[in-house]
Chain A
Amino acid sequence: MPAEANRAVSERPRPEGTTEAVPGKTIGDYTHPDAVMSCRNVDVYYGDKQAVMDVSLDIGRNEVISMIGPSGCGKSTFLRCLNRMNDTIDIARVTGDITLDGENIYDKRLDVVQLRARVGMVFQKPNPFPKSIFENVAYGPRIHGMARDKTDLEEIVHESLERAGLLKEVKDRMDQPGTGLSGGQQQRLCIARAIAVNPEVVLMDEPCSALDPIATARIEDLIDELKQKYTIAIVTHSMQQAARVSQRTAYFHLGILVEVGTTDHIFTNPTHKLTEDYITGRFG
């Protein structure tokens, strides 16, 4: 495995103009002084195919970090490692260390159910349950036994919908099916559902790719507000979105984390040729 050979992580910047992505040789500082999650030398295999190669990255508290890159670059796969959603795929295999507050999330002793309560997820396509709006948001608190009684549960649901900016639109029809909302409302409902269990980190996998520009703008505003309370890792196809919502940006290419840095730096002064080509729209 080439990734094994390159375990040693170098912080030496690549010479300018190179077009080669080397596993484990990420340009920029992938660490964060106040990291909630930190990943070291993560490899993901789908059967024989390696989808993520030797990625090391910290996710800082109350920051929005965006992951960009061309299709098939492994950014979604990497994101799904952070709450072990890859466990549901039989052929997927993850190696390396991923910690949440210093605990290895792939540790046998750590329960995956508990992990997912702490690391929530919002998916590409809005996927509310075919139940009422109230039930959608109440589901998480209910299965985790977070509400003391019915009024407490109602409070959690209202607060979550309020934070997701949806309460005003749906407060008169909480018993209507969540699937009857518009696409943008459905996605905000999914966000409300994710934050109802009060996670530390919210993972978003291209949350706006199925939405129109107005709904997208609302979600982006929402992400901006949510970062006060939560840490958000977002995968996006849209470079404008990454530039608008995130403080740090990571650029992936063919399973390799090529470059990471502050969003300003990545978008104004990329070091690697591939990063520059991508953000200037030469491919992707």
Chain B
Amino acid sequence: MSSTNNAGGRPPVLEVVRASLPRRYRAEARFKAYGIIALVLAISFLGLLLTTIIGNGYTAFQQTYMKLEFNLDAETVDPQGDASEASLRAGNYLAVVRNALYGLFPEVTSRSDRRALNSLVSTGAMFELQNMVLDDPSLVGQTIELWVPADDDADMYRKGRITTEVPESERRLSDKQLGWLDALADQGRLELKFNTALFTNGDSRDPELAGILGAVKGSFFMLLVTLGLSFPIGIAAAVYLEEFAPKNRWTDLIEVNINNLAAVPSIVFGLLGLAVFLNFFGMPRSAPLVGGLVLTLMTLPTIIIASRAALKAVPPSIREAALGMGASKMQTTFHHVVPLAMPGMLTGTIIGMAQALGETAPLLMIGMVAFIVDVPQGFTDPSTALPVQIFLWADSPERAFVERTSAAIMVLLGFLLAMNLLAVFLRRKFERRW
């Protein structure tokens, strides 16, 4: 056989093939190695990112609390003596908190030392006491034992982020303050407990009182607006362009523009929102409504492109079958094509939503970067968003905000992960074979 292939003095085919085999296998092995290296690199970067974030942030889910006995004597708490709300509101709770500390350390008498001692407990303690008394006026005159949050510096010391190795002059806490904290710890008055404030409070200047609830709710309202607008508009645009629009220069132009829009830097959308929604239409500043509108502009191209791809992937035989049955274009589209494209459309929408959830830059332009303590209750209340909250905390000088920044990042990543899982789940559930 090989002799017949040997015309013209060329080596036999079999030998040529055999000679080239090792080279081919080497090339294949090399390519596989490149792939594995790339994969290992990608995974290790991701691992590094997650370890840093979790390593920095896991402590933020705990907070140091201080057990103190508060003497709610009527004179201080109820100055008018009539137990009315106005009177209880006017009570000097700061004095109650201070007296509780002075009671534990009677030896501290000088003004500066007393101020240093007072700074160990959070300013939130007096508001907590006030709220308790307002809820239950019968507490007036009693002495109650309560766990109140410690100041962020005390919290940092308890978590080992402030150590005595650093010279006193460069430390946030003096040797005296550390001594008091050690004494409190020895008496079992300092404990790490779950940091509920992180999930139930809005933003605060005091790290121990700062929480992400305001940002989470702001993000939630914003995404609701974005979803409510971008899903129907995006799907309608995609279905029209893919199924109904004539293919001419105008639709080509629109397609190019949609693709370009998807690549426009998000800050530009922020500027557009500032100019159009705030300045021209006079919508409220810092509101989730405006944030949602801006993010709608930003996610629309993503949803349209993904939905068009999903519609394109529906086999033409399905359209022919329906049209051949005498279904109108509209019936063909909505009875057969759109249901088949729905998993892809939903996936595109959720990916767009996840993108919107993580977006920061456009929100800066419409005032959602403001420091807002109150938890928003609706679409027009001033609020911030999760990624912006992360930005704000990362910008704060307090040591305790470092771990809270990481904790907020973990919460954001958790939401993103949940949304992506939902996308996978929906795709699995609605996917149909043909």
**Which A residues have a C-beta under 8 Å from some C-beta of B?**
83, 85, 88, 90, 113-117, 120-121, 123, 125, 127-130, 139-140, 143-144, 179, 190, 193-194, 197
Contacts and interface: CB of A to CB of B under 8 A. Distances in A.
A88 B319 CA distance: 10
B321 A190 contact: yes
B160 to A, nearest CB: 61
Contact of A197 (B317, B320, B326, B331): B326
A61 B337 CA distance: 35
B326 A179 contact: no
Interface in B316-357: 317-328, 331, 335-336, 340
Interface of B: 246-247, 315, 317-328, 331, 335-336, 340, 432-434
Given A130-B432, A130-B434, A179-B433, A85 B324 contact: yes
B326 to A, nearest CB: 4
Contacts, number: 66
A129 B326 CA distance: 14
B321 A127 contact: yes
A244 to B, nearest CB: 25
Contact of A85 (B247, B317, B323, B327): B323
A239 B178 CA distance: 100
B323 to A, nearest CB: 6
Contacts of B315: 127
Given A130-B318, A139-B325, 19 more contacts: A85-B323, A88-B319, A88-B320, A115-B326, A116-B326, A120-B325, A121-B324, A123-B321, A123-B324, A125-B317, A127-B318, A127-B320, A129-B318, A129-B322, A130-B432, A139-B322, A140-B326, A143-B331, A194-B324
B325 A197 contact: yes
B324 A129 contact: no
B324 A116 contact: yes
A114 B326 CA distance: 7
8 contacts: A85-B324, A123-B321, A123-B324, A125-B317, A130-B433, A143-B326, A143-B335, A190-B321
Contacts of A121: 320, 324
Contacts of B432: 130
Contacts of A197: 325-326
A113 B328 contact: yes
B326 A113 contact: yes
A128 B315 CA distance: 12
Task: Name the residue in B315, B326, B336, B434 with the highest tally of chain A Cβ atoms < 10 Å from its Cβ.
Answer: B326
Contacts of A120: 324-326
A12 to B, nearest CB: 38
Given A130-B434, A179-B433, A143 B320 contact: no
A117 B320 contact: no
A117 B331 CA distance: 14
B319 A194 contact: no
A127 B325 contact: no
Contact of B325 (A114, A125, A193): A193
B325 A88 contact: no
Contact of A127 (B247, B317, B327, B335): B317
Contacts of A123: 317, 320-321, 324
A65 B251 CA distance: 42
Nearest to A135: B335
B293 to A, nearest CB: 36
A218 B387 CA distance: 65
A120 B323 CA distance: 10
B377 to A, nearest CB: 45
A129 B323 CA distance: 12
Contacts of A130: 318, 340, 432-434
Nearest to A114: B326
Contacts of B318: 127, 129-130
Given A85-B320, A127-B320, A129-B318, A179 B434 contact: yes
Nearest to A180: B433
A113 B326 CA distance: 5
Nearest to A117: B326
Contacts of B324: 83, 85, 116, 120-121, 123, 194
A30 B320 CA distance: 29
Given A90-B247, A140-B325, A193-B325, A129 B320 contact: no
B255 to A, nearest CB: 15
Contacts of A88: 319-320, 323
B48 to A, nearest CB: 45
A189 to B, nearest CB: 11
Contacts of B434: 130, 179
Nearest to B328: A113
A144 B326 contact: yes
